[in-house]
Structure 1
């Protein structure tokens, strides 16, 4: 019964979680990375909004989600196959995490949006590489 009441309290969140679970369940490695980039960008944009509107709990939740995704992306880099590209991405992800954590203490959404824009560039390159 507690589970049902949790579903009714925030049906939009429940839908997002079900949608994410469905997209990740059938995703192969490259498709999963694409889903992670999408989720990461969304988390950062919501964190920006929340910071500007002083919605501290939402900001904290989205910062936690964004940093967790950044850690996951970094942890799954294949340094044997990726070489210099993997090393560059590792530094990039670490820099993004640092910027997100620093932005988490303020009320300016711009740093979150800057990181999201930088990650969007990587995501687009990843999507194009998969299509080729």
Structure 2
């Protein structure tokens, strides 16, 4: 009963979670990384909006999601095969996490948007590499 109540309270969120679960179940490794980048930049953009609009619960939720995705991206780097690229990405992800956590205590959305923009550049390069 509590589960049904939660579904009815926020049907849009429930739909997004079901949609994400479906997309991740069907995704292979490269497609999953692309999906993580999309979810990460979306979380950061919502955190920016929430910070600007003093919606602290939403900001906190999106910051938690963004940092979890950054940890997942870093944890799945293959340092044996990826060499310098993996090490560079690990440093980049750690730096992004630090920026997100630092921004989470303020009310300015710009730091979240800046990190999202940087990640979107990498996501675009990832898409081009997958398409080639």
Q: TM-score, normalised by structure 2?
A: 0.99
Give every structure 1 segment of 4 or more consecutive aligned residues whose post-TM-superposition deviation is greater than 3 Å: none
In the other structure, the counterpart of 1:30 is 30
Q: 1:26 Cα deviation (Å)?
A: 0.7
In the other structure, the counterpart of 1:79 is 79
What is the rounded CA distance, in whole Å, between the counterparts of 1:7 and 1:77 in structure 2?
A: 35
RMSD of aligned residue pairs (Cα, Å): 0.4
Cα offsets for 1:37-94 (capped at 9, x unmatched): 0000000000000001111000000000000000000000000110000000000000
What is the rounded CA distance, in whole Å, between the counterparts of 2:19 and 2:25 in structure 1?
A: 10
Q: 1:2 Cα deviation (Å)?
A: 1.2
What is the rounded CA distance, in whole Å, between the counterparts of 1:99 and 1:2 in structure 2?
A: 36
1:15-26 correspondence runs (5 A): 15-26=15-26
1:39-50 correspondence runs (5 A): 39-50=39-50
Number of positions where the alignment pairs a residue of Structure 1 with one of Structure 2: 132
In the other structure, the counterpart of 2:100 is 100
What is the rounded CA distance, in whole Å, between the counterparts of 1:4 and 1:63 in structure 2?
A: 26
What is the rounded CA distance, in whole Å, between the counterparts of 1:10 and 1:128 in structure 2?
A: 36
1:118-129 correspondence runs (5 A): 118-129=118-129
What is the rounded CA distance, in whole Å, between the counterparts of 2:131 and 2:82 in structure 1?
A: 19
SS, match of residue 106 in structure 1? coil
Q: TM-score, normalised by structure 1?
A: 0.99
SS, match of residue 105 in structure 2? coil
- Uncovered stretches (5+) of structure 2, i.e. residues with no partner: none
